[in-house]
Structure 1
Amino acid sequence: MNASESFVLAIGTKKGLWLATSQDRKQWSFSGPHFLMSEIPSIGIDTRDGRTRIMVGVRSEHWGPYVAHSDDLGASWTEPEQGAIKFPEGTGAAVERIWQIYPDAESRPGVVWAGAEPISVWKSTDGGEHFELNRGLWDHPHRSEWGAGYGGAAAHSIVVNPAGDNVHVAMSTGGVYRSLDGGTSWEPRNKGISAYFMPDPNPEFGQCVHKIAADAAVEGRLYAQNHHGVYRTDDNAENWESIAEGLPADFGFVMLTHPRRAGTAWVVPLKADGERIPPDGKLAVHRTDDAGATWKRLDSGLPQSEFNAVLRDAAGVDSAEPAGVYFGTRGGAVYASADEGETFTEVSSHLPDVLCVRAAVVAGAPVTAAASA
């Protein structure tokens, strides 16, 4: 790591946000809670243009959902007028929860995507200050048939290719939708992904895909963690194939991919939809380095008795070398690995239910801000 770089770790919970900084990914300095007693289901850390902007989707029981951002590691927060995301007049809809905040590529500074409930996708061109509803997806003829997952009607995954013309969105429930024109038009792309709980187990859409992520080095390759099922596509989501063999279970929520290396992805298996606990009550991350042909169990430093689940966005990777892997549990424990999951260290415990974890390499020496709300 460059001596002028450091790390930031953001942890969103049911009762607020915690921020941590580190120079070595071993010792962390924490601030928080920020937004105490508000739910933080989504976080985006934008390190483009030489700055670090932390964006959070806040859900206040009193004020409702909104997007706040900080350019000084939480020392101060800006809450845009109208909450940054608001449905236009005439839609008859109101935002319930912001499920995803996704900064776009380095070549498109200022562009930030968001996924929300009810199922909708939004785009900002000013760094998350204001977002515009994607009408192509909102007006899609399938929308009336999309259902709510157990946690709500979520547009929870947004993946944009380097050129910006190819966009994939995953939703619960609805499945994977793809746009080849930057988000103007959308088509379902779920061939091979099972929906065993429906009358037709192989429908065009309606799957409960839990999370998707793109392979950083192979164009057109994506991975999916489904409601039972782990999949890969090598043809831009035209066809999906199972890569669950070798895992202790095919249920779970997490899907992470390496920031640079082809074929590397991480999942956190849970026993089943009816038993949302780690298999045998033993928490472990599983990594593939060959695009799902084989999987390696990684549990060094993790508790051998754990019955809390890890939610879809309660895990993240940084862009360091080697890549860091981070995740939090519904029991409030947060774990960090500086060696791609080979060994983990508990960096925080007894937090509220962890909903979202994001980490990034940032410029400059680490400075932890004082707690704010």
Structure 2
Amino acid sequence: MSEAIQLLVGTRKGAWIYRSDAGRTGWTAQGPIFLGCIISHLVLDPRDGKTLLMAAATGHLGPTVFSSTDDGETWTEAQRPPAFPKTEDPATGRAVDHTFWLEPGHPSEPGVWWAGTSPPGLFESRDGGATWDSVSGFNDHPNYRDWVPAEAGTPDGPLLNQVVIDPRDAAHMYLATSTAGVFESHDRGATWTPLNQNVEANFLPDPYPEYGQDAHFIALAPTNPDRLWQQNHCGIYRLDRPSDRWERIGNAMPTEIGDIGFTIVPHARDAETAWVFPMDGTQVWPRTSPGGRPAVYRTADGGASWDRQDAGFPTEQGWFTVKRQAFCADRADPLGLYLGTTGGELWMSGDEGGSWRQIAAHLPEIYSVVAAPLP
């Protein structure tokens, strides 16, 4: 069964919304929205089906968050965007460069949102994104400077790039960071513990440290929240709780492709199935599709094996990749997959990766793609 769908697209120079009926064959575009602004994330609140939150870096307002309740026609800026507490000590002072990730709170907590920023910071809103408060349990942790060393970062800056909430328990949360890997909290963010056993960091003297990894993306299997998938800077991993030890399932990928990429997408109804979009991580890390031949790879057995899915993609000279937030799925049957490229193209598959077609081109560099049902 399918439903009408919208794709919320954030780019380096604005946001767009693409809408389609249940057939997912034709798409209409709304946008640009905030043309010229860096839009890291645009998210629909699944709890009310109408509130949109947007993480934006604007020229005159700086890093901020906007909300809309009329399908993106009008926007209201947050009264108090995510910001670290002010201090006179230059050794501890921090300023939010941009908000990178927006996460709707647990279904039991309407109006609650979480945000991850650069430099890495965790923030909470309890009023639908109007005001934001620093979460001291992470931001003021005694080990914060070890978790976020001054010299660490990505091309977009050091990131707290993800907040994930256990659908069974609002107090059980995970974070993904580009400087220290994955963290877990059982008390709604008051305390945090590194969760990186057996995850490689081959750029450090100790390749398997307690923290220091670059967790590009993590995802819970929707039908089994005890299964976590991770696309890391150093491979593809799976974790089955209550274990704390990740397994590198990317070793089963073809050696000529490798297991480096930015994101991983789990199947909405099958905990054994997930997709990745590999990039070239050899030598100078060009961050392009290996060999200029883009493809998605799917596992249907928990990572024991991977199948190439490239029908419709360029067979040569396709030198793009897909960023952390720019690959997603809907919940239709068959499931739809959507990805945005660094070259400003929007692609979709309506048959779970079996074939791909381009639905938009010539956009700015795409930072994020989120699939959501139409209200």
Q: TM-score, normalised by structure 2?
A: 0.91
Between Structure 1 and Structure 2, how many residues are aligned? 359
Q: Where does residue 212 of structure 1 map in the other structure?
A: 218
Alpha-carbon offset, residue 237 of structure 1: 6.2
Query: In the alignment, does 2:132 pair up with 1:127?
Result: no
**Which of the residues 259, 263, 278 maps onto 1:269?**
278
The letter for the 2-side match of 1:85 is P
Q: Where does residue 75 of structure 2 map in the other structure?
A: 77
User: Is the 1:257–1:265 Cα contact (8 Å) retained in structure 2?
Assistant: yes
Q: Where does residue 312 of structure 2 map in the other structure?
A: 301
Q: Where does residue 292 of structure 2 map in the other structure?
A: 281
Once residues 246 and 362 of structure 2 are traced to their aligned partners in structure 1, the CA distance between those partners, rounded to angstroms, is: 39
Structure with more contact order per residue of length (Cα contacts < 8 Å, sep ≥ 6):
1
Query: In the alignment, does 2:158 pair up with 1:158?
Result: no
Q: Secondary structure at the match of 1:323?
A: coil
Once residues 100 and 277 of structure 2 are traced to their aligned partners in structure 1, the CA distance between those partners, rounded to angstroms, is: 19
Q: Where does residue 366 of structure 1 map in the other structure?
A: none
Once residues 52 and 257 of structure 1 are traced to their aligned partners in structure 2, the CA distance between those partners, rounded to angstroms, is: 25
Matches within 5 A, 1:145-184: 145=146, 146=148, 147-162=152-167, 163-184=169-190
Once residues 130 and 143 of structure 2 are traced to their aligned partners in structure 1, the CA distance between those partners, rounded to angstroms, is: 30
Against the structure 1 CA distance between its residues 303 and 230, is the aligned structure 2 distance closer, same or farther, given a 3 Å change threshold?
same
Could you list the structure 1 runs, at least 4 aligned residues long, displaced by more than 3 angstroms after superposition: none
The letter for the 1-side match of 2:42 is I
Once residues 166 and 243 of structure 2 are traced to their aligned partners in structure 1, the CA distance between those partners, rounded to angstroms, is: 13
Q: Secondary structure at the match of 1:219?
A: strand
User: Is the 2:108–2:170 Cα contact (8 Å) retained in structure 1?
Assistant: no
Once residues 329 and 14 of structure 1 are traced to their aligned partners in structure 2, the CA distance between those partners, rounded to angstroms, is: 12
The letter for the 2-side match of 1:321 is D
Matches within 5 A, 1:44-193: 44-49=43-48, 51-82=49-80, 84-90=81-87, 92-145=93-146, 146=148, 147-162=152-167, 163-193=169-199
**Percent of aligned pairs with the same amino acid:** 38
Alpha-carbon offset, residue 127 of structure 1: 2.2
Once residues 59 and 272 of structure 1 are traced to their aligned partners in structure 2, the CA distance between those partners, rounded to angstroms, is: 29
User: Is the 2:344–2:366 Cα contact (8 Å) retained in structure 1?
Assistant: yes
Deviations 1:96-123 (A, max 9, x none): 1111111133333222211111101112
Alpha-carbon offset, residue 45 of structure 1: 1.5
Against the structure 1 CA distance between its residues 340 and 128, is the aligned structure 2 distance closer, same or farther, given a 3 Å change threshold?
farther
User: Is the 1:222–1:237 Cα contact (8 Å) retained in structure 2?
Assistant: no
Q: Secondary structure at the match of 1:121?
A: strand
Deviations 1:134-173 (A, max 9, x none): 1100112222122323321100121110211211101011
- Give the stretch that moved more between structures: 299-308 or 84-93: 84-93
Q: Where does residue 326 of structure 1 map in the other structure?
A: 338
**Which of the residues 253, 266, 276 maps onto 1:246?**
253
Deviations 1:40-76 (A, max 9, x none): 1112111313x32221100113321111111122111
Alpha-carbon offset, residue 327 of structure 1: 0.6
CA RMSD of aligned residues (A): 1.6
Give the gaps of 5 or more residues in structure 2.
Answer: none
Q: Where does residue 201 of structure 1 map in the other structure?
A: 207
User: Is the 1:117–1:154 Cα contact (8 Å) retained in structure 2?
Assistant: yes
Q: Secondary structure at the match of 2:291?
A: helix
The letter for the 1-side match of 2:137 is G
Q: Secondary structure at the match of 1:37?
A: coil
- Give the stretch that moved more between structures: 131-140 or 145-154: 145-154
The letter for the 2-side match of 1:99 is F
The letter for the 1-side match of 2:165 is V
User: Is the 1:190–1:237 Cα contact (8 Å) retained in structure 2?
Assistant: no
Against the structure 1 CA distance between its residues 318 and 104, is the aligned structure 2 distance closer, same or farther, given a 3 Å change threshold?
farther
**Which of the residues 338, 341, 354 maps onto 2:353?**
341
- Give the stretch that moved more between structures: 23-32 or 334-343: 334-343
Q: Where does residue 371 of structure 1 map in the other structure?
A: none
Alpha-carbon offset, residue 275 of structure 1: 2.6
User: Is the 1:47–1:362 Cα contact (8 Å) retained in structure 2?
Assistant: no
The letter for the 2-side match of 1:246 is M
Against the structure 1 CA distance between its residues 157 and 289, is the aligned structure 2 distance closer, same or farther, given a 3 Å change threshold?
same
Q: Where does residue 17 of structure 2 map in the other structure?
A: 19
